[in-house]
Amino acid sequence: MPRPTADAPILSLAVDARAREPAYLQLYGQLRGLILSGRLGARDRLPATRALAGELGLSRGTVVSAFELLQSEGYIESRVGAGAQVAALTPEHLLQVNARASPPPRDATPEPARRPQPPFHPNAAALDQFPHRDWARAMWTAWRDPPLDRMGNPDPQGHLPLRRAIAEHLGAWRGIACAPEQVFVFSGMTEGMALVGRALLSPGDLVWLEDPGYPLLHRVLAAHGFRPAPVPIDAEGFDPRLARATAPRARMAVITPSHQYPLGHTMPLPRRLELLDWARQQEGWIVEDDYASEYRYAGRPLSALMSLDERGRVIYAGAFSKVLFPALRLGYVVAPPAILPRLRAALARLPAQASIMAQPALAEFMASGQFAAHVRRMRRLYAGRQKKLLELLARELDGTLIAAPAEAGMHLVARLSPGLRIRDCDLSARVAAAGLVAPALSSYSQLKRPPQGLLLGYAGFAEAALRDAVRRLATIVAQCRRR
């Protein structure tokens, strides 16, 4: 049940009528700060909007707007008959929590604390650098007076202004000429793959997957009745000739040609053309997963494989979870015009896809230029953090873990030197016992003799955290060498 209303923190609220910032944003920011500092804890009840408006000398609509914004971002939740209360916080919010200000749990059965992702986690982003106020304004613009059809019957293919913004972004960034009608918005890659598979494949069809690669894809494909066919990756990424030898009857390839995940290789033009030729000859399909394409640190962005496709055999997939924040849960696929009827028919047979709540805000965020500005800031920040991690590894690890610069992405792959006689999974387990997260490269592989290494994320960690983490990693490696 909710706790009693937390009166003491609420007394600190004050809105300055002379300030340039709107009153609802002032109230939103102050309440959010109380939640992040721990002064308002999980399940603390907030005052009724009418009562709080009277105390602060505001209109009830102003307070309601602030509460709706907090609820849309997951800070509070409302229940019929119980009013508004503080929700359980997501990890990206807790990155900003001041632990010293957090009070101890007041319940007999406290909820477990959620902590920021530990150093080296390959999916961690610099969420403390996200432009929260710009996002809040985009949410307010989208929902302060929405059309009724947005609230009751949104387009299952996705919010049209967002699909338009995605098409414009891909045209400028990846050289893909597409129309909003070709864009489908989902809550993630797995939903997009489910749609594409239902529309284009038959049960039992073989699908080429990169090895090492994204492990969840194996489970998703198998759950829908398709057969994954792992293809070993070399220094130039996916090899179409090896794929044909491995599984000659495959109907689809799911690849990351611009920045292979997790190794980071780039697929050269001859192989791209060879793969396109296979798709044309065999009437096969290519799903181009453009993992973290925005975070490229060397040279201009590479043209997408879809921009080379003249026969309509490539489906492009992207997501916003890495470039913005994971809790957004929005991704998309871009399909060739000829298969749009098949995808729409398959979409009608699937349950509801991405929530409409964030889509109009993201469309506004992109159209206003804030999205591009955020990407530019993060690209500079992440490039610097990658450089620092490489310097620390070279200085502290003495060649026992070998990492090379990556042209893109949010992590490095550190290979184990021959003299380090330990499997990567065992080393990863020891690293985890020390409070770090460095996944074993072999855990991304289905092969009998998987490659060995550790994934070391850098994007979400400041220099001091990286320095401490590398020293702890060096101590663990030194202990392994002495055994």
Which residue type is seen at 341? P
- Torsion angle in degrees (nearest 10) through CA of 276, 280, 281, 282: 90
For residue 479, pLDDT over 50 is answered with: yes
Q: What pLDDT shows up at residue 80?
A: 57
Query: 3.40.640.10, 3.40.50.40, 3.40.50.10140, 3.40.1170.10: which CATH number matches 155-355?
Result: 3.40.640.10
Strand pairing category for 83-86 and 331-334? unpaired
Task: Report the percent of the chain where pLDDT is more than 90.
Answer: 56
Measured distance CA(437)–CA(213) in Å, rounded: 18
Q: What pLDDT shows up at residue 294?
A: 82
Highest mean pLDDT among 32-46, 146-160, 264-278: 264-278
- Closest-CA residue to 185 (of 367, 357, 359): 359
Same fold, 155-355 and 372-482: no
- Under the banding of pLDDT at 50, 70 and 90, the label for residue 300 is low
What is the average pLDDT across 336-365? Answer: 89
Q: What pLDDT shows up at residue 104?
A: 38
- Closest-CA residue to 316 (of 326, 324, 305, 303): 305
Q: What pLDDT shows up at residue 72?
A: 63
Q: What pLDDT shows up at residue 146?
A: 85
Which has the minimum average pLDDT: 23-37, 284-298, 326-340, 357-371?
Answer: 23-37
Q: What is the mean pLDDT of the chain?
A: 86
Say if residue 328 is exposed, middle or buried (CB neighbours under 10 Å; 0-12, 13-18, 19+): buried
For every residue of 262-308, which 3-state class applies, written as one string?
CCCCCCCHHHHHHHHHHHHHHCCEEEEECCCCCCECCCCCCCCHHHH
The highest-level CATH class for domain 372-482 is alpha beta
Q: What pLDDT shows up at residue 16?
A: 80
Sign of CA pseudo-dihedral 422, 428, 430, 436: positive
Contacts of 296 (CB under 8 A, 6+ apart): 259, 302, 379, 407, 408
Parse the chain into domains and list their residue ranges: 7-116, 155-355, 372-482
For residue 90, pLDDT over 60 is answered with: no
Q: What pLDDT shows up at residue 6?
A: 58
What is the average pLDDT across 224-230? Answer: 93
* Greater pLDDT, 297 or 236: 236
DSSP code for 408: B
* DSSP notation for 53-99: HHHHT--HHHHHHHHHHHHHTTSEEEETTTEEEEPPPPHHHHTT--G
What is the average pLDDT across 357-385? Answer: 94
- Under the banding of pLDDT at 50, 70 and 90, the label for residue 3 is low
State whether residue 436 is helix, strand or coil: coil
Which has the minimum average pLDDT: 44-53, 123-132, 369-378?
Answer: 44-53
Q: What pLDDT shows up at residue 61?
A: 80
What is the average pLDDT across 338-356? Answer: 86
What is the average pLDDT across 361-366? Answer: 95
- Per residue in 104-113, pLDDT (tens digit) is 344 444 444 4
Contact 299, 326 (CB under 8 A): no
The helix or strand, by DSSP H or E, that contains position 186, with its residue range, turns out to be: strand 183-186
Q: What pLDDT shows up at residue 83?
A: 81
Measured distance CA(253)–CA(251) in Å, rounded: 7
Q: What pLDDT shows up at residue 304?
A: 92
- Per residue in 422-443, pLDDT (tens digit) is 999 999 999 999 999 999 999 9
CATH fold group of domain 7-116: Arc Repressor Mutant, subunit A (1.10.10)
- Under the banding of pLDDT at 50, 70 and 90, the label for residue 7 is low
For residue 92, pLDDT over 50 is answered with: no
* Bridge partners, residue 5, by sequence: 45
Contacts of 466 (CB under 8 A, 6+ apart): 119, 385, 388, 389, 392, 458
Q: What pLDDT shows up at residue 111?
A: 47
Residue listed under structure tokens 């998703």: 220
For residue 103, pLDDT over 50 is answered with: no
* Greater pLDDT, 172 or 281: 281
What is the average pLDDT across 362-378? Answer: 93
State whether residue 47 is helix, strand or coil: coil
Written as six digits, the tokens of 245 are: 């030898």
Phi, psi of 315 (to 5 degrees): -110, 125
Q: What pLDDT shows up at residue 154?
A: 83
For residue 102, pLDDT over 80 is answered with: no
